[in-house]
């Protein structure tokens, strides 16, 4: 597939302002995902406008740190953030709809991040 | 603040109209819905964690079995992601064969949806006639690949089976004959007054809402936004002429019309691909292990699916993340429901085409 | 405006033969390409266990000392990957499904 995909690393404190800028310029939220690397967790946000694709990545070393939620800007993001909270144990601040750990009722909590 | 007229009605996970389990808690006041809260996780299998145990060549077989209705395109997107990381060029004949099988998959999925919608508002005779047509498409698929819903024909570097030239022209003749029968049945969906009474004006999604909430697929195109991931040009779609189908009114009738028009567009795309295919090889040999990351995007019958693969040089992938279109359409469903009557809820849940086993992998 | 379109369709299909097959009294005809159950020519097998390592459903067990090849029919998904990796090409795929099973047991093939 031959379209360009941009991947950028940003800090947690710039997250809301960057996503807000992209919202005002007409992008839509595509997905929010999380990867477990050997030394930290990496959360990536994908945005798209007219078939061009942009990604932001933030690195999280400490699980007690709360990541600000983007559901005030994009309301549909609450599903992705609840899923990451249930599977990886990341805490988000001010989610639009908060299931408090009961989104996926699995027998092993935080299964992807043992 | 306890309003005594409001009750909470649980909808699902077992319901006669739902093909797969999803749970909604509906806050209802005198037959009108005020609010809806979704609840998922009934078929969660943890397939993303299985990637640590099956190496990257075998995982195609697991990726195809994530969902039963949209199975070929899951396998195709996984192969596209790994091929892009490893820099493999697939031969052109394999690309055209992939296009033909993707469009056959789209045909059978839309016919399945039409039948389920007719069943949702009680029109069982139409449901049976639509599924009779679907059986004929499944017979074509079984003749060419070996399985009715799980095709088993994608592999990294190409395809596993071939279709001969006479079989291809036989497929085109059959599809021309079936197009006439499909037109008779879909005319009933469009013109019948009882169908129109249940679908027009129900569940309106405005253009700005559909874009902001992240809806994808026919639910987005029926609100007026022209966005189809096939235009990115993967797997020989760059050489085929077609344009995304849109409608403007954004209600359930518009979503039904978009899917019906896409049926005829798929038959046209298959005819174009059969004209342009050239003889050649089917696959390229794969050696080595992948290292890198990539986002692969394709268009399933329900919308845009994204596979994120990250590999670090060993035989097992480090991370595979699948975001399916129904997961992105659920916020749109939650915004559609308030204001509708309680008897319209099954039809509304079916118009976004829920495929819950994909959603929860 | 057409009326009675669906009513005519239903009446016509009342007098035609049914679209379904009277299975199991009428047998189903399979196509040449249909993926069914796996069979083995046990005389050619060298018990290298490549098929056991590569099976995505973990349905095969190969025992070199006792010369046995065991398949669990309920786990096999007929994907055909074992056919591609066998070095002696002794596996084949028939085109009918295996019969329904009444209890969970495995099928054992013993070589000479």
Rg (CA), chain B: 21
Q: A5-93 — its CATH code? A: 3.30.460.80
**Of the ranges B231-240, B299-308, C61-70, which is most confident?**
B299-308
Q: Give me the DSSP letters along chain A.
A: --S-EEEEE--GGGHHHHHHHHHHTT-EEEEEEEEE-SSSEEEEEEEEETTEEEEEEEEE--TTSEEEP-TTTSGGGHHHHHHHHHHH--EEES-SS--TT-SS--SSTTTT--
Residue C53 contacts B where some CB pair is shorter than 8 Å: no
* Count of all residues that appear for chain C in the document: 112
Report long-range pairs for A37-46 (Cβ below 8 Å, ≥24 apart). Answer: A37/B318, A41/A88, A41/A90, A41/A113, A43/A67, A43/A84, A43/A90, A44/B308, A45/A15, A45/A19, A45/A70, A46/B295, A46/B306
Query: Could you tell me what percent of chain C has a pLDDT over 70?
Result: 96
ipTM score of complex: 0.86
- How is residue B335 written in tokens? 């915004």
**pLDDT recorded at residue C8:** 82
Task: Count CA atoms closer than 13 A to B219's CA, side-chain side.
Answer: 34
Helices (H), B192-285: 193-199, 207-212, 218-221, 252-276
Cα B334 to Cα B23: distance, rounded to the nearest angstrom: 12
**pLDDT recorded at residue A1:** 44
- Determine, yes or no, domain membership for C95: yes
User: Which domains does chain B possess?
Assistant: 41-359 (1.10.645.10)
Helix (H), strand (E) at residue B164 = none
**Would you call A44 and B308 a contact, using CB atoms and an 8 Å cutoff?**
yes
Please check whether residue B295 is in contact with residue A5, taking contact to mean a CB–CB distance below 8 angstroms.
yes
**What residue in A sits closest to B85 (Cα-Cα)?**
A1
Query: Could you tell me what percent of chain B has a pLDDT over 90?
Result: 4
Q: How many CB pairs under 8 A join A and B?
A: 78
pLDDT digits over B8-57, tens only?
888 878 888 888 888 888 888 888 888 888 888 888 888 888 888 888 88
Q: How many domains does chain C have?
A: 1
C touches B, CB cut-off 8 Å, minimum 3 pairs: yes
Q: Quick check: B85 pLDDT over 60?
A: yes
pLDDT digits over A63-101, tens only?
778 888 888 888 888 888 888 888 888 888 888 777 887
With beta carbons under 8 A apart, name residues in chain C contacting B126. 6
What CATH number does the domain containing C51 carry? 3.30.70.3270
Q: How far is CA C4 from the centre of its chain?
A: 45
Beta strands in B12-49 (DSSP E): 23-29, 32-39
When pLDDT is averaged across residues B140-168 and rounded to a whole number, the result is 86
Residue B244 contacts C where some CB pair is shorter than 8 Å: no
């Amino acid at each position: 597939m031959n379209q360009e995909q941009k991947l950028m690393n940003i800090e947690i404190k710039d997250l809301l302002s960057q996503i807000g800028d992209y919202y005002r310029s007409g992008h839509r939220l595509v997905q929010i995902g999380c990867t477990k690397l050997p030394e930290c967790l990496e959360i990536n946000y994908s945005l798209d406008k007219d078939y061009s694709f942009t990604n932001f990545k933030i690195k999280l070393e400490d699980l007690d740190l709360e990541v600000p939620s983007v559901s005030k800007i994009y309301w549909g993001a609450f599903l992705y953030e609840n899923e990451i909270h249930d599977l990886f144990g990341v805490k988000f601040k001010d989610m639009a709809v908060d299931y408090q750990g009961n989104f996926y009722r699995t027998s092993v909590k935080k299964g992807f991040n043992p | 603040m306890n309003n005594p007229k409001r009750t909470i009605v649980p909808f699902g996970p077992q319901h006669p109209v739902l093909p797969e389990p999803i749970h909604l808690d509906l806050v209802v006041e005198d037959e009108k819905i005020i609010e809806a809260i979704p609840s998922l996780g009934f078929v969660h299998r943890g397939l993303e964690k299985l990637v640590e145990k099956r190496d990257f060549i075998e995982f195609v077989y697991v990726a195809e079995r994530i969902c039963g209705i949209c199975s070929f395109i899951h396998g195709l997107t996984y192969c596209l992601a790994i091929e892009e990381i490893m820099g493999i060029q697939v031969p052109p004949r394999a690309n055209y064969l992939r296009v033909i099988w993707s469009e056959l998959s789209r045909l059978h999925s839309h016919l399945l949806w039409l039948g389920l919608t007719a069943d949702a508002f009680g029109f069982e005779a139409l449901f049976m006639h639509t599924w009779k047509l679907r059986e004929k498409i499944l017979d074509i698929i079984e003749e060419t690949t070996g399985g009715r819903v799980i095709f088993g024909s994608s592999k990294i570097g190409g395809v596993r089976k071939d279709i001969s030239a006479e079989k291809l022209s036989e497929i085109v003749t059959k599809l021309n004959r079936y197009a006439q029968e499909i037109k008779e049945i879909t005319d009933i969906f469009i013109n019948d007054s009882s169908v129109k009474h249940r679908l027009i004006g129900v569940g309106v999604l405005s253009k700005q809402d559909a874009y902001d909430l992240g809806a994808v697929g026919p639910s987005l195109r029926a609100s007026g936004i022209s966005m189809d991931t096939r235009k990115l040009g993967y797997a020989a779609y760059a050489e085929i002429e077609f344009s995304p189908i849109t409608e403007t009114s954004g209600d359930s009738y518009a979503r039904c019309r978009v899917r019906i028009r896409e049926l005829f567009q798929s038959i046209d795309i298959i005819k174009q691909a059969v004209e342009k295919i050239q003889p050649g090889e089917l696959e390229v040999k794969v050696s080595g292990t992948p290292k890198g990351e990539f986002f692969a995007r394709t268009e399933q019958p329900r919308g845009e699916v994204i596979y994120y693969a990250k590999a670090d040089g060993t035989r097992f992938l480090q991370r595979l993340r699948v975001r399916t279109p129904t997961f992105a359409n659920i916020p749109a469903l939650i915004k559609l429901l308030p204001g509708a009557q309680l008897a319209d809820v099954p039809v509304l849940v079916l118009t976004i085409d829920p495929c819950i086993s994909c959603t929860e992998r | 405006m057409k009326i009675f379109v669906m009513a005519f369709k239903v009446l016509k299909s009342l007098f035609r033969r049914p679209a379904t097959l009277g299975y199991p009294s009428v047998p189903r005809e399979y196509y040449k390409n249909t993926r069914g159950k796996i069979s083995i020519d046990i005389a050619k097998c060298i018990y290298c266990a490549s098929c056991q390592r590569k099976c995505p459903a973990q349905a095969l067990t190969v025992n070199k000392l006792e010369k046995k090849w065991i398949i669990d029919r309920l786990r096999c998904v007929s994907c055909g990957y074992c056919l591609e990796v066998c070095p002696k090409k002794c596996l084949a795929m028939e085109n009918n499904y295996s019969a329904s099973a009444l209890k969970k047991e495995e099928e054992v093939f013993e070589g000479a």
